[in-house]
Amino acid sequence: MTDFLIYDAKVAVLIAVFYMFYRLLLARETFHRVNRVTLLLTAIASFVLPLCVITLHKTVTVEAVPMVSVGDVQMEIAADTGPQLWEILLPVLFITGMLATLGHTLLSLFRILMLIKHSEQHPQPDGTTICVTGNAALAPFSWMHYIVMNQSDYEEQNPAIIVHERGHIRLKHSWDVLLVDLLTALQWFNPAMWMLRSDLRAIHEYEADGAVLSQGINTC
């Protein structure tokens, strides 16, 4: 477990460094596709690079060592003091945070799936499915190829809402969210990971808004 924690710490450092460069160089740019790819590569590369081990081979000449009889060697046996307190508490803390974060993600996913399952479903010619729920306070959202909205929004047939959510589906934003949420469970202690996650979701909204504007729909 200690080896994994060391690996995860290296990942945290890489995410922080890469994300800092992203904020300095790209965050203010409006090339949303480039920013999206950069953030995804930042997350993936940070987890992959610490696994890359470079081994250098060097020939070393060792001088002959005189043989020493066993009787001339004094052996000292150190007392086994057992694991240190931090070696127990640190893994427990990490696993607790990871399970809490992962549990929240899975619970949210379960609620979405149940909402879709119990909704009134209207398959569309483009392969998407509009799911109508009875929750009047529910804001429209999409997940995979499903568009979820309340009855009032469905009856209004606002083209901006439909095109916006179809933009999320066409650009496969749900897969981005799922990947980054799973990685966040392993980096729950890292503020840079949470900021990366937040920025990625904001970029998703910009991209979906761009899909609306590209079709000449007035969002005002």
Q: What is the per-residue pLDDT across 195-214, written as a single tens digit (0 to 9) for each?
A: 999 999 999 999 999 989 88
Catalogue the long-range contacts made by 38-42 (C-beta closer than 8 Å, 24 or more residues apart): 39/196, 39/199, 39/200, 39/203, 40/176, 40/179, 40/180, 40/200, 42/15, 42/18, 42/196
Question: Judging by DSSP bridges, how do beta strands 146-150 and 129-133 pair with one another?
Answer: parallel
In a domain, 74, yes or no: no
In 3-state terms, what secondary structure has residue 121?
strand
DSSP 127: S
Q: Is pTM beyond 0.75 here? A: yes
Range of the domain at 92: 2-52+85-214
Would you say 50 and 6 are in contact if contact means Cβ atoms under 8 Å apart?
Answer: no
Q: What is the per-residue pLDDT across 61-95, written as a single tens digit (0 to 9) for each?
A: 666 656 555 555 444 444 556 667 777 888 899 99
- Mean pLDDT, consecutive 10-residue stretches, the chain (220 aa), reads 91 96 88 94 96 70 59 49 74 95 96 95 95 92 96 92 95 97 97 97 95 76
Tell me how many domains the chain contains. 1
Cβ contacts of residue 204 below 8 Å, gap of 6+? 36, 168, 171, 173, 176, 177
First-to-last C-alpha distance (Å) of the chain: 54
In a domain, 195, yes or no: yes
In a domain, 73, yes or no: no
